[in-house]
Amino acid sequence: MVLGGGISEIVGRDGRVTAVRTAAGTTVPADLVVYGVGVLPNTELAATAGLDIGTGTGVTVDAHLSTADPSVSAIGDCAAFPDARTGRRIRLESVQNAADQARCLAARLTGTPRPYTALPWFWSHQGPLKPQIAGLSAGYDLAGRTPGSGPGRAVLRVLLSRAGPDRGRVGQPRLGPHDGPQTPRTRPLPRTGGGRRPRVRPQVLRGRARVHRPLTYALKETAMRRVVTGHDAQGRSVVVSDGPVPRAHAFTTLPGFASALPWATEPGEPAPRAGDDPTAEVTGFVPAPGGTRFLVLTLPPDATMADPSFDPVVFGREQLAESPGIAESMEIENPGMHATPTVDYGIVLAGEVTLELDDGALTKLSTGDIVVQNGTRHGWRNHSDGPVTLAFVLIGVPAAN
């Protein structure tokens, strides 16, 4: 690791990087270079206006995002605000923070002031993965990773808040590389004193995570592997593609909610001979009679929607954009309840889910259970503490009278 140094040259041969030369004159051999560039908030305008900018670390605001001058507020990357959970002054660089602070300020300007308390979360695109991070980590004494890693699966690492005076501090789940170890591994704890370094089993971690409800949010990477067959020029059957599902989306307005459309067929069409991907063309997730949609959904625990940062209106908008057809079928009065003119073959891939129907009966389904949904009005509820992933094949049928 070379920290705090600059780069003077990236050296290459035949179009490929071979080394990096540092400003200090060292040459470090490399075949991949990741250059992390730090930033500083631009506080000059605020300083000129006589506002407090700390030591250049951000425009100082109170819990309502107001500076000492009540006619000036600051939000987003440049604002240094008191963290509702720790009381410490922090500055965050994320889209969530900028957008939620804008909402908070708009509420104050329109006469409904409330302090800024949104749970920080962050998403990013890393190749085929869309990792999401909830909470902030400022030290921890438990760390672990969930089991179930492997090709096409996420590894969820959870850092739990410290017991004692800092109890209640939010931890930081992180998404690891998707090709993690096949067997659950434990992570060493940081040394907290002269004692032995204990180890946390994933089971222990899961048990603790249940206590810290805010941490038990669902997280689903959408890089599920999809293998597609077709025919080559000689008419032989071959694998024509093998990789992540191209049409997959991790929702930003409801952390842990993800949908993927691995395949679709239209009524009366023969099987695509070359195995060309039809999903980019799909404009509705509810198939016409005789058509099909292959859907994989991951639902976070319903408790996620109780978080003050959850906004059902913006979530509804994202659903309309990302799950067209199904979003429109959702009832406004009874969130989650809907009916589509389809017979749905469903299987629970992982987790626990509850099926709600008209008569109020709640049917719990868990990993490996299958369901046949005959065009009935229904809702999927996640009353568990973890995510649930379901695969469905929706088969379009004529609408019932």
Ligand X SMILES: Cc1cc2nc3c(=O)[nH]c(=O)nc-3n(C[C@H](O)[C@H](O)[C@H](O)COP(=O)(O)OP(=O)(O)OC[C@H]3O[C@@H](n4cnc5c(N)ncnc54)[C@H](O)[C@@H]3O)c2cc1C
Q: Which of 18, 117, 124, 334 binds ligand X (CB under 6 A)?
A: 124
Which of these ranges, 20-28, 87-95, 204-212, 309-317, lies near ligand X under the rule CB under 6 A?
87-95
Q: Name the segment binding ligand X (CB under 6 A); options: 94-102, 129-137, 353-361, 363-371.
A: 94-102
Our CB check for ligand X shows the closer of 95 and 399 to be 95
How many CB atoms neighbour CB 80 within 10 A?
19
The single-letter DSSP state of residue 147 is S
Query: In the complex, what is the shortest distance from the CB of residue 271 to ligand X, in angstroms, rounded to a whole number?
Result: 39
| Tokens linked to 66 | 């107001």
DSSP classification of residue 362: E
Residue nearest to ligand X (CB): 76
- Least spacing, CB of residue 58 vs ligand X, in Å: 11
Binds ligand X by CB under 6 A, chosen from 81, 122, 263, 315: 122
Using CB under 6 A as the binding rule, whether residue 42 contacts ligand X is answered as yes
Nearer to ligand X, 130 or 157 (CB): 130
DSSP string, 197-212: --EE-HHHHHHHHHHS
120 is a site residue for ligand X (CB under 6 A): no
Q: Which of 98, 337, 350, 357 binds ligand X (CB under 6 A)?
A: 98
45 lies in the site for ligand X, by CB under 6 A: yes
> Judged by CB, which is closer to ligand X: 132, or 146?
132
- For residue 49, state whether it binds ligand X (rule: CB under 6 A): no
Angle at 108 between CA 106 and CA 109, to 5 degrees: 65
Residue 76, Cα to own-chain centre: how many angstroms? 21
Verify binding: residue 94, ligand X, rule CB under 6 A.
yes
State the nearest-atom distance from the C-beta of 120 to ligand X, in Å: 10
State yes or no: residue 123 binds ligand X (CB under 6 A). yes
Beta strand pairing status for 59-60 and 79-82?
Answer: parallel
- Write the interaction track for ligand X spanning residues 347-386; mark x where CB under 6 A is met and - where it is not: ----------------------------------------
- Local structure of 76: helix, strand or coil: helix
- Closest to ligand X by CB, 76 vs 291, is 76
- Identify the sign of the CA torsion 218, 219, 222, 227: negative
Residue 93 binds ligand X (CB under 6 A): yes
User: For ligand X, which stretch binds (CB under 6 A), given 6-14, 89-97, 175-183, 233-241?
Assistant: 89-97
Residues forming beta bridges with residue 98, ordered by sequence position: none
Whole-number minimum distance, CB 47 to ligand X, in Å? Answer: 12
Q: How far is the CB of 130 from ligand X (least distance, A)?
A: 9
Instruction: Show the DSSP H helices in 239-344 as ranges.
Output: 312-322, 326-329
Q: Rule CB under 6 A: choose which of 10, 95, 109, 280 binds ligand X.
A: 95
- C-beta closer to ligand X: residue 101 or 146: 101
Residues 6+ apart with CB under 8 A from 14: none
CA distance 342 to 98: 40
Judge whether 291 and 283 are in contact, CB under 8 Å: no
Residues 142, 208: contact at Cβ < 8 Å?
yes
For 11, the token pair is 């050296």
Residues in the chain, how many?
401
Residue 122: CB minimum distance to ligand X, A: 5
Sign, Cα dihedral of 246, 173, 364, 253: negative
What minimum distance in Å lies between the beta carbon of 137 and ligand X? 16
- Rounded Cα distance between 272 and 348, Å, is 28
Residue 77 interacts with ligand X (CB under 6 A)?
yes
Q: For residue 168, which amino acid is it?
A: G
Closer CB to ligand X, 222 or 342, in the complex:
222
Number of residues that bind ligand X (CB under 6 A): 12
Task: Report the alpha-carbon distance of residue 123 to residue 251 in Å, rounded.
Answer: 10
**Where does this chain bind ligand X (CB under 6 A)?**
42, 45, 76-77, 93-96, 98, 122-124
